[in-house]
Chains A and B, each alone.
Chain A
Amino acid sequence: MTVTAAGPLPQTPYDVAIVGAGVVGCAIARELARHPRLRIALVEAQDDVGQGTSKANTAILHTGFDATPGTLEARLVREGYARLGAYAAETGIPVERVGALLVAWDEEQLAALPRLAEKAQRNAYPDTVLLGPGELYAREPHLGPGALGALHVPGESIICPWTTTLAYATQAVRAGADLHLNTAVQHVRAADGHLLTTSRGTLRARHLVNAAGLHADTLDRALGHEDFTVTPRRGQLLVHDKLARPLVRHILLPVPTALGKGVLVAPTVYGNVLLGPTAEDLDDKRATGSTADGTAALREQGRRILPALLEEEVTAVYAGLRAATGQEDYRITAHPGQAYVTVGGIRSTGLTASLAIAAHVTGLLADGGLDLGPVREPEPVTMPNLGEAFPRPYQRADLIAADPEYGTLVCHCERVSRGEIRDALASTVPPRSLDGLRRRTRARAGRCQGFFCGAAVRELFERGARP
């Protein structure tokens, strides 16, 4: 098991180097790690997995009902939905099958619903149901006045994006892949395979996978391709306190119209309620700040969808950058002559599609001459549960009886025990920052944002959770 974050990189050539440890890169590493003969490097510029778009999205497991029929994205989302659903169940990634309602607020949107139902059919998703206002308000009693109807998509689900990425990385590393953090790729050149110059020295690999997300176009150009340009599209989201969770039962999706996509209101598996995202095309790939205009616009739209939500506390405002390419599809391209696969333009559906993308990319690598060798299924992993729909450690008498540290709560808003923090610090891919610890445990993620527990959590993080 190897995770490195400093020092020189191994000089023996790898069979495959994957650049980018987001949800897609981690899924590819996990898929390749099923082949024990391969030496795999997962290379990440930041200090943790899932630090880009993977950590700041709407956390939805999509059915793919509204994908553009016939695209690669439509197929991979459909396959990925089934794969990730099954993987989540066996791994302990929290998923809640709450279903989505596309709510129509005017006649134009109402008229669009049957077309969306028909599109869902073409995407092999036949389970949508049109609802009149009576049934809509029976399902969502706190919905603002004026909704005319909705399309119910029962399969749309919510999922924990952090645990998903971490589960892939954990399984890949335990199966023998090397995860190199704090390793920014600066140059690539062909030299008996690929020679990567990074912030931590050089690394050699016979095959290269570009899963660099927002920076996938830059890396692609370094390998001589001008196929696409990534325009970061900022999505600001407001996270509301768990006390807001009873206000909403489904994912409330906007009906896409010519005037734009609108915003969604969605519960999270942690029991929060999301409002967002904005959609702002930017130039700066580091512009992950929120803005006064953005949050004000979201609250204005949220007031119409779920008026009572505005009365609840906001526990976080975050902004994620989606990798928009101006294309209606993923940009997954094999360059067999170069032993190189680009995995670009993976938009907000990437979380859902991740396992299917991984299988697809593995196929492309094999077609490009990578000898995968035999398959050995990796040891199953069981991830710590961060979801409210499943028993958390503080709710489990058996666990506390065996280890009282699970009954010792440190973060009170989110009810995170000392035992969970200790486990995260000792895990296969441990956190390197308080934010990393938050994504693994929910510690400091609640309404007080550390007023009560911040110093105690930092103490455990910096000096270790052993008494």
Chain B
Amino acid sequence: MTAPRPVDVLVVGAGPAGLAAAARLAAAGAGRVEVLERETRPGGVARHCAHGGFGTWTHPLTGPGYARLLTRAAERAGATLRTGVTALDWAAAGPVLTTVGPGGPETVEARAVVLATGARERPRAARLVPGTRPAGVYTTGELQQAVHLFGQHIGTRAVVVGASDVSYAAAGTVRAAGAEVVALVTEHPRAQTGRARARTARLGHRLPLLTGTTVTELLGHGRLSGVRVRHRDGRTTVLPCDTVVFTGDFVPDHELARRGGLTLDPGTRGPAVGAALHTSRPGVFAAGNLLHAVEPAGTAAREGARAAGAVLDFLAGTPWPDPGVPVAVEAPLRWIAPNRVTPAAPQARHVLRTRIPLTRPVLYVHQDGRLLHRERRPTALPDRTLTLGARWHERVDPRGGEVRVSAG
């Protein structure tokens, strides 16, 4: 192995979180700030979201536009972007990574590492959807790249599995590719999107939505010929199609975190972090959708900037904090992030997910049977952001047991 090459901060992943972290770190004079991106272009998932919803109210952008904006900001601030370079694994200790790219293998020794490796959708196999293994089976990520980055032909009739925001984006991509959307299929009783979007899709674009419906089998040899679905009442039907898109069901892309022995949160399956985004491995921070799969790009970017603040403190000599008090959720809540409470951390709000729709729920925060906080929230849907404020952090006993968040 070659001698380690020193940098000050190594950011892994040039999506919104990584680029925003790099921009702030470089601008604040953190020294040599290097961003590793294994894809050929920076921007992460945003680079193939060829639809609006990025940027701000005053500066609305598409995904690719937003990716370019963040890339320019990081480069202008003085960060070095290295695309086509993969972080493979860790050295035995510390924030030291082995990498490979066209230039060959390398060991990079950083004073701090920010992991921003993002999230991915769970594909058909992980969802254990039975049937044959034909061609024509996509995730939204693959579909968007196929259509928007490569202009590939995708098929003529597509079933979209899911009815969350990303599912509607996938349906838009299917239509943009000149194919017909046979239906959106969700096991939930309604779409996991705003009522306006659902109505526009149904009435404006005539996209059928099948609620209370599960995909039970993929059919076809060679190419997909249809999907079998089961309705709530037990009836089954075959929807003839040559393409199926499995949307949503995001999970953190946590391989590097796991290889580094980072403590994972059992709910998110991403690294366990407090609000300042320290992981369990000294010198290693994490930000973005690696922590919560998935939040909008803007949330990831703000979190990247927040991680950069903690990195700057650490480089200035602030000691690595204790792990903090774990925060867990009770069903039907699925996960919460950040999922540690550490005394000195900023009071950033938490994001949560629910498994089932909750109408104007009250969230309760308990520690060792003691009620720390209660808060009424707007109606929450699966796959949509639910938030919880952080004002209760000061009431957490740092030597006490796990904090538990429940919905009532």
Contact = CB atoms under 8 A, between A and B. Distances in A.
A200 interface: no
B216 interface: yes
Interface centre among A286, A413, A455, A459 (most CB of B within 10 A): A455
A452 B124 CA distance: 14
A408 B101 contact: yes
A290 B130 contact: yes
Contact of A314 (B38, B102, B103, B128): B128
B133 interface: yes
Nearest to A444: B142
Given A405-B102, A433-B135, A447 B86 contact: no
Contact of A455 (B126, B130, B135, B150): B150
Nearest to A457: B142
Interface stretch (A87-95, A101-109, A166-174, A393-401): A393-401
A450 B123 contact: yes
B100 A295 contact: no
Contacts of A338: none
B102 A452 contact: no
A146 B70 CA distance: 55
B38 A412 contact: yes
A289 B132 CA distance: 4
B125 A407 contact: no
A454 B138 contact: yes
Interface stretch (A117-125, A208-216, A315-323): A315-323
Interface in A138-182: none
A404 B102 contact: yes
A292 B39 CA distance: 36
Contacts of B146: 454-455, 458
B29 to A, nearest CB: 32
B132 to A, nearest CB: 4
B235 interface: no
A250 B38 CA distance: 33
Contacts of A370: none
Contact of B125 (A292, A316, A394, A404): A316
Contacts of A407: 100-105
Contact of B84 (A315, A400, A408, A451): A408
Contacts of B258: 243
A454 B101 CA distance: 20
Interface residues of B, number: 41
Contacts of A413: 255
Contacts of B298: none
B38 A409 contact: yes
B104 A455 contact: no
A452 B150 contact: no
A291 interface: yes
A56 B207 CA distance: 38
A451 B123 contact: yes
A442 interface: no
A449 interface: yes
Contacts of A397: 104-105
B122 A313 contact: yes
A456 B146 CA distance: 8
A434 B39 CA distance: 20
Contacts of B176: none
A401 B86 CA distance: 16
A234 B216 CA distance: 19
Contacts of A286: 221
Interface in A416-467: 433-435, 447-452, 454-456, 458-459, 462
A289 B130 contact: yes
Contacts of A30: none
B4 interface: no
6 contacts: A289-B218, A295-B130, A407-B100, A412-B86, A415-B88, A448-B141
Given A313-B126, A412-B86, A462-B152, 17 more contacts: A288-B133, A290-B131, A292-B128, A292-B216, A295-B128, A314-B125, A317-B125, A394-B88, A404-B103, A409-B100, A413-B255, A451-B121, A452-B39, A455-B152, A458-B146, A458-B150, A459-B150
Interface of A: 239, 243, 286, 288-292, 294-295, 313-318, 394-395, 397, 400-401, 404-405, 407-409, 412-413, 415, 433-435, 447-452, 454-456, 458-459, 462
* 7 closest Cβ pairs, A-B complex: A449-B123, A404-B102, A455-B145, A454-B142, A455-B146, A451-B141, A451-B120
